[in-house]
Structure 1
């Protein structure tokens, strides 16, 4: 179990993470989503004891990461695939990790095989690895101690489509066997395919969290009008949040009746009014992280 309780981190006057709370339970994959600069990586670093929080707590099975006796055998972490000694071979890196964790060295070959790195790749120095190979090595490192929890930040970066499909199956199988996965990724379709729960963060705050299917079902209403400028004015007067889609329609965080009544009072002709759930996770993400959170990401 991962438990994050009112976690905050400030750098001077800048709130990188602001009062974030969520839990990740056994048997689930939790997708941790947000634009660049939203606070995802900082939150993950605080969970893993690499960054000290300004306030709040983050625990693994009820304990802070720093108080775990042998953390690699409880929780597997992949935050930066390039954070490996470039002059060592893949096998050397895992062998040193096995020695540190008190593991049988046979686990090294088992872990390499599990992530698809063959004997030739294992003998190669990490500086010669592609990004995809470094991701696989980082995942092998995370899995080495047979942990019950995985925290992965953008683990699919550099993987080809076949590799992404493989990783999706590996994480789904890990969770189905009772494991807990916290997964951050910009590949929204892959998160949608594997995640059970979602935590969406923007501007350092949680803007939505819960069961994936429930969140997608409540992701707003698609609206298109004959007079789109007039529709924008009506939505603004009503205080409704709207995001423009690629096809020119807008997604509004309100039910169809509320939007329809507002349009009727302004004598607007609507050409489309339907639930946005069919737009999937990508549309929900764009809607929830629009405005201040996006500004935060590029500030």
Structure 2
């Protein structure tokens, strides 16, 4: 479980994250969404102990990241797939991390097999890997310690359609076995396909937090009549918010009974009365974030990019920042 409570991060007069609270629970994939500069990466860095918060707190399974014994055995983190030693082979990177985590080489073998980097690919230097191969290695690194929590930033970046489908299956299987997944991605259709829960951030603040089905189907009602004008007037007089649609109907914020009674009073014959189409995650995302001007909360000037964490690297980085 990941718990974020009233998290705030300021850089001088600049507020990157402002009083953010949410929870990622076991057995679910939480999509953590927001436009560029909304504060996603800063939030994830604070969760993983790489950036100290100005105020608020975060915990992983009830414990602050910096207080976790051998944190890679509890949470696997992938924040930047390119932040890997380019001169080492894929197997060398996992083998070194396995020593830090206290897991055997059989786990290294299993992870290379899982992500499709066994055989010749594991012997290549990471500097010769494609971005998609680095993403696969980063996921193997995050899973190496057999954690109960995964936190991934843009894990499908650079993957081909087959790789994206594969990644979706790995994350879904991890959650279905009781794991907690926090996933940040700009590939909204992929998030919609795999996520159970959605947290949307805009300008450093949470603008939506809830179950995927709940958020995507909170679009009110669609109503269409033989005679639109009397119906629109009756709905407005009933105190309902009415928005005309392109096909001559109306999108109404209200319940079916109120709409039906208003139509009856106006003598309007209804042709349709049903839940409005949500338009999917993309439409909801644009609607929620369009009113929030983005700022570069994910990386203030002079702030170094995040790396691949999960097998002790985050602990070292957080200790350096604290010193």
Shorter-chain TM-score: which interval? 0.7 to 0.9
Q: Distance in 2 between matches of 1:132 and 1:47?
A: 25
Task: Provide the residue aligned with 1:164 in structure 2.
Answer: 164
Distance 2:105 2:284 in 1: 45
SS in structure 1 opposite 2:279? helix
Give the conservation status (yes or no) of the 8 Å contact 2:30–2:199. Answer: yes
Question: For residue 296 of structure 1, what is the aligned residue in structure 2?
Answer: 294
Query: Cα deviation per residue 1:220-256 (whole Å; 9 max; x = unaligned)?
Result: 56899xxxxxx9xxx9xx9x8x9xx9x899x989448
Q: Return the offset for 1:137.
A: 0.2
Structure 1 residue 277: Cα displacement: 3.8
TM-score, length-scaled by structure 2? 0.77
State the shift of 1:35 in Å. Answer: 0.5
Q: Mind listing any 5+ residue stretches in structure 2 that lack a counterpart?
A: 225-231, 260-271, 298-323
What is aligned with 2:98?
Answer: 98
**Whole-Å Cα distance in 2 between the matches of residues 64 and 298 of structure 1?**
26
Give the Cα separation in 2 of the matches to 1:277 and 1:217.
7
Q: Using a 3 Å threshold, how does the CA distance of structure 1 residues 121 and 222 change in structure 2: closer, same or farther?
A: farther
Supply the distance in 2 between the matched residues of 1:253 and 1:288 (Cα, whole angstroms): 18
TM, length-normalised to structure 1? 0.83
* TM-fit CA distance, 1:118: 2.4
The answer to whether residue 63 in structure 2 is matched with residue 63 in structure 1 is yes
3-state secondary structure, aligned to 2:41: helix
Distance 2:186 2:295 in 1: 14
Q: Which residue number corresponds to residue 114 of structure 2?
A: 114
5+ residue gaps, structure 1, are: 225-230, 260-271
- CA deviations 1:8-36 (Å, max 9, x no partner) are 11111111101110111111110101111
Matched residues in 1 for 2:20 and 2:204: separation? Answer: 8
Q: What is the aligned partner in structure 1 of residue 281 from structure 2?
A: 281
Any idea what SS the aligned residue of 2:82 has? Answer: coil
Q: Secondary structure at the match of 2:22?
A: strand
The aligned length equals 282
On the 8 A contact 2:219/2:278 being kept in 1, the answer is no
Q: Alpha-carbon deviation of 1:273?
A: 9.3
In the superposition, relative to structure 1, how do residues 248 and 203 fare at CA in structure 2: closer, same or farther (>3 Å)? farther
Deviations 1:130-174 (A, max 9, x none): 100000000000000110000000000000000000011111100
Counterpart of 1:48 in structure 2 is 48
Higher relative contact order (CA 8 A, sep 6+): 2
Question: Where does residue 269 of structure 1 map in the other structure?
Answer: none
Please say if residues 77 and 142 of structure 1, whose CA atoms lie closer than 8 Å, have aligned partners that are also in contact: yes
